[in-house]
Structure 1
């Protein structure tokens, strides 16, 4: 079917069940179906934005992209990002089971700051993990409140040709609700909900109201949640290195979202947004570290906050001199503060975490990470024809200024000697592990979508030019401990892209893309520096780091008819100058720090390769019944060392059997969902032998009811058969060795229940 024919269906489609979307719909389909589930038209044309930076049908883009709408999020009842993406076999969100929970999103084996996360087009702050056995310096990329979301889009593979640095592994785009989503065609609308989730025994409340007229509309939403630790299946409740029950934890989250939308004249729209989210957590750290035998008890708090203000403008001129002009300016600040309190028993007079002695010490450790981001973007879209060739031209400019600061502080109280000190393990507090400073990124991009043969063949070339500069402040705290002076750095990169899509028949399309990607090194990687003279190791800065570069080739095919939707994609991603922290060969390496037995430094690895394949499919065998499934396989190697990439998960799969019946006033359904993975066999055990989890399969049941237009209910039973299993991402996140005691500490929750009720008016 030609694209112009499919485009007519956009207005009537409410969810996507293209080959990619079909699996997503089954694995966590809409909570409240707006139309009967058997309506085939709704499966053809879900519109996404992330793949091309403009509205496009998801089954008409030459890349792998999935979308999760608000109703699917409500049905999934996710406690965190790990649960939100649990049924996507090519996405992994490891949890730090010791303390910090879900953190970095991993797409096809690429994670951390190599995956771009955005909320309403604004980049989320950087992910930071200082590592170490004390596990106290971490700043996660806090996601927005799930109840505020209207959609989440995930684009796989490098996307630097449109988004620049940080999109070398993919893009996750969170889109928050607008007043129209709450008003639902009325002058005033509102919603309120309650939820309970047994995974972390959390209780949440959310409320929103919106109203206005054709000229001005407003929205305000509030969410509050209290919860506890994510459960494990361990039974050892002691304070020890062998503890297997999860560390006791209390958390509280508050979030606000406010929007004012102004339509002063035809074709013009302004949108002012304020978003706030804060989370306060207290953890009783009863799982002790084998690397710190003198630490006999510990607890800590984490306080996270993020505030964003953005102003968006959109112009769609009636003259059609351009189709659309959009512009946005924004300011965002985020802060993460961590406090850790330790008791160190039978320790040295200096309160060592590992050296034995006769002293008893209280140790107070603090960590802070703060970022301020200011930026703008401008984009213009124009469709036109040159002869028989159709064009859709997209061009724009992005600018981002990021100010970053980090701090560690500490105080020791020796109860035996009465000495109070700001020195510990060779550190003299307070300390900056990298200097305060500023980074600027500017990108100019252009993309032309050329359509031939009446829209059956589309060729899309794209190109982006990026320039970044990084400059440190004159930071006295950093200078006092750094092994080398902080350095400035700037560079530029071109990121081209070429993709093609062929509508071979009304039901089959084939596509391919060849994409270049790049990521600029950040402050920690270039100027990170510290010395631990007691334990004899440190980190050296590296001002010679080059940006990471990638080349990605992907091909795919999709088939869609009234009952079957399926797709397959094969990819090969090659990375050059991949940045990894490595142990130097000391003392022969000139970057080694004198007097220390070990030095770590971020270095460019010459070649890293990840290749794999994914399949998704959906089969509707009766009007109200369907089966959906997905499989993802990836294989990764560090070709410089010949070792596997630990960030790549083993083969994973998911499936669902769904029954649903609905109408515009009432709807009900149920789904039996399954997900599983093969055993872990390929790991880089150069530093130590990892614990390798076995394969697993786990089942969930969901049921949902919409009683009328005002009330709905969702019930879930997760891990129905109380299966004990481990996720490789969690094991890798905690650097869990095969010899570590109490491995059940890292198990997933057993059988749990979840429920939510929502009222709309």
Structure 2
């Protein structure tokens, strides 16, 4: 089984630039299949790809990285990214409990577009959240269909020296299945799956088939899922600000994946991939907003679609001039649109959401966010020696062009007076909150792994040059220019160096350290975003003077590995300069304040932001069929300019598990995860609701009856514990005085089951 796993992973080296191993060292989900000591040690020493974008051994990675493979994902049965990373205490994926669900991935307190997410080496579209109490404008990155995945890899900390601007907080890489993952050595193979999860009463079906020969192989997979609202522990079913039951939802998603692999010759290989995913959600928004007292009922719908086409090429010349040259060209488009209808009662003639009157109104609000991405990347690898020093040199180029567009539209119908208007809260629709335009990013990188003393000491310097340019369209006449200033173009360049070192102190212990520079360019919204709500008296001003963010990260770690124990510890200190954060201006003295409004928000560079912390992971196989694992993550964040805590940093969190596996396909486990109470928050604007600490228990069991049939069962939150996640509270901005905070609780006891047929 282990050899088959390694064979699959080797087949993906060409397209996955993030480190992975069959079993992640020290991961809470360490793969234990009842293997012997010899197999266990081999799994730790044999490596496929690394955080250096080259083939590497697991114990030679001078950074913190964890993986989850297809089997682990199937057993955990997650319904979204929050569930996928639930056992990683340094990863947080907040959910918008009102309607949009899981949002951006947070790694060690850094989130949104600072964390690079890729599928088969192609960047996912940007995360966008317009904010505001109406909650009408949000576009998530939309992770791929989980049943299509063979592996997920997470690299912590700045990785700009290899991946560029949007990797200042880390990298999450999804790798989809190849034909060999279904055929498993046969001419034709496939799988069928059924799954149900009580967390949202969702029922899904998956199907896949693959086949071919040594020259050409093909794969096609399809998935469909129908679900409802995410459960919580609330009991108030009213249509009011006091409601604590979830907003009723109907959720439908479908996806398909196609691949063709051509081994044209021993030296030349090609892979063509098409990925499609779309979803639709209808929501009765019965939980009303205290900030919008005239809105007495609301409904909403969201539609999203993402399509990707990519072509990968690999050349391994027999001449030896290079070890390997890999290239990829791709096109991806993503569209998100939302529709919201609000009934406003006892409101003003102009149908205000806040002002009392005698009118009854119906207000329709539309939002759309679109991105078109085209790009390519080329990477060359070469190993050689100079005297007693071995080198592994890589270099390459990444290029991406992204065209982004956002729009809002609306129509107001006063049902009392019979009038219709395209003006809402002082805005005339349609309009854009930032101008449609294009962003180009080009990166050149080089890295050399130098191995000394028979490979016991590795020194890895790296360097990347990035250039970006942001150009708005000149004919964008409906741009919401609240500040009365034209949209601007921006361009910048930056050099990001890196230096890491790893010392193999003994056969079981290695020590490592890295010093990495990070860089992130401001995006379209941060530079040219603009908004004005004259009725409620707030707005957002553009900032053409934003500087790019820079970071310096220092991390040290140690690993211990033997046939029974694998453990690691890491300590990190990340310092950010010119950190971009949206702040409320000191009005009216600040010259950027929008006149006539009580509050103006603007993206500003913060002089200094610091996040430091420590993490531990470990696995102990105390009996041949038994193991215990655990992980703890602590981080402390502060805005050194304001001396305020960073709300994006979660309190100390931990996870642990005890599992028994009689055979590779038959076993059971119990998992615990918990967190300390929230005590450090920036309450400058308002006082946050601070969740207490918690601990919850899950049960899992799995059976593989034969080579064709397998079953997985789960009981989540076994003891029906009521608790809140800080990420959900922070995402929504829940105040301590907000009524009905049980609305934001996590699901109580739920059950899940999945059945898989392989042929």
TM-score (norm 1): 0.96
- CA spacing shift, 1:464–1:232, aligned 2, 3 Å: same
Q: Could you tell which deviates more after superposition, 478-487 or 696-705?
A: 478-487
Which residue does the alignment assign to 1:49? 49
Query: Is the contact between residue 22 and residue 69 of structure 2 (CA under 8 Å) also seen in structure 1?
Result: no
Q: Which residue of 2 aligns with 1:744?
A: 742
Partner of residue 24, structure 1 = 28
Distance 1:593 1:48, change over 3 A: farther
- For the Cα contact (< 8 Å) 2:158–2:516, is it kept in 1? yes
Confirm whether residue 713 of structure 1 aligns to residue 730 of structure 2: no
SS at match of 2:395: strand
**Which residue in 1 is equivalent to 2:13?**
none
Distance in structure 2 (CA, Å) of the matches to 1:425 and 1:109: 35
Contact 1:37 1:661 (C-alpha < 8 Å) held by counterparts: no
C-alpha contact 1:451 1:458 (8 A) present in aligned 2: yes
Q: Deviations over 1:427-475 (max 9, x none)?
A: 1000100000000000000000000011100000000000000000020
Moved over 6 A (4+): 9-15
Residue by residue over 1:184-230, the C-alpha shift from the partner in whole angstroms, topping out at 9 and shown as x without a partner, is 00111100100000101100000000011111110000000000111
1:491-542 residue CA offsets vs partner (Å, 9 max, x unmatched):
0000000000000000000000000000000000000012212222211111
Cα offsets for 1:595-635 (capped at 9, x unmatched): 22221111000000000000011111100001101100000
Q: Is 1:341–1:364's contact at 8 Å kept on the other side of the alignment?
A: yes
Partners in 2 of 1:522 and 1:219 — Cα distance? 37
Superposed displacement of residue 43, structure 1: 3.6
* 1:16-42 deviation line (CA, Å, top 9, x unaligned): 587x5343325xx57xx4957994235
Contact map agreement 1:12 1:41 (CA 8 A) in 2: no
Bigger drift between 386-395 and 45-54 goes to 45-54
Following the alignment from structure 2 to structure 1, what is the Cα–Cα distance between the partners of residues 651 and 37? Answer: 34
| Partners of 1:77 and 1:35 in 2: CA distance | 24
Q: In the alignment, which residue of structure 1 is the partner of 2:17? A: none
Q: How large is the Cα RMSD of the aligned pairs?
A: 1.7
Give 1:759 shift. 0.5
Match in the other structure for 1:642: 643
Q: Supply the distance in 2 between the matched residues of 1:713 and 1:38 (Cα, whole angstroms).
A: 29
CA 235–479 in structure 1, closer or farther in 2 if over 3 Å, else same: closer
Query: Quick one: structure 1 residues 440 and 11, their matched pair in 2 at CA, closer, same or farther if it must change by over 3 Å?
Result: closer
Q: Is contact 2:25-2:567 (8 Å) kept?
A: no
Structure 2 CA distance for partners of 1:133 and 1:640, relative to 1, 3 Å:
same
1:446: which partner in 2?
Answer: 446
2:324 maps to which residue?
A: 324
Distance 2:38 2:195 in 1: 29
SS in 2 for 1:732: helix
| Cross-structure match for 1:200 | 200
Shift of 1:50: 5.2
| Worse overlay, 581-590 or 66-75 | 581-590
Matched, 1:554 2:555: yes
Contact 1:237 / 1:245 at 8 angstroms: preserved in 2? yes
User: What is the aligned partner in structure 1 of residue 433 from structure 2?
Assistant: 433
Q: 1:594 to 1:685 in 2, by over 3 A?
A: same
Structure 1 spans left out of the alignment, 5+ residues: 1-6
Distance 1:181 1:662, change over 3 A: same
Paired positions, count: 746
C-alpha distance in 2, partners of 1:358/1:143? 46
> Residue 167 of structure 2 aligns to a residue in which SS?
coil
User: 2: CA distance between counterparts of 1:345 and 1:591?
Assistant: 36
What's 1:631 paired with? 632
Provide the residue aligned with 1:220 in structure 2: 220
SS at match of 1:23: coil
Q: Is the alpha carbon distance of 1:208 and 1:183 closer, same or farther for their aligned partners in structure 2, counting shifts above 3 Å?
A: same
5+ residue gaps, structure 2: 11-19
Asked if the contact 1:483/1:529 (under 8 Å) is kept, the reply is no
**1:49 positional shift:** 3.1
| CA–CA separation in structure 2 for the residues paired with 1:578 and 1:332 | 29
* Partners of 1:699 and 1:719 within 8 A in 2: yes
- Secondary structure of the residue that 1:555 maps to in structure 2? strand
Aligned equivalent of 1:142:
142
The residue that corresponds to 2:274 in the other structure is 274
CA contact (8 A) 1:37 1:624 kept: no
Which stretch of structure 1 is more off in the superposition, 457-466 or 58-67? Answer: 58-67
User: Displacement of 1:301 after TM fit?
Assistant: 0.2
Structure 2 Cα separation of the partners of residues 72 and 229 of structure 1: 25
1:677-723 CA-partner distances (Å, limit 9, x unpaired) = 00000000001110000000000000000111111000000000000
Q: How does 1:599-748 map to 2 (within 5 A)?
A: 599-663=600-664, 667-748=665-746
Q: TM-score, with normalisation over the residues of structure 2?
A: 0.96
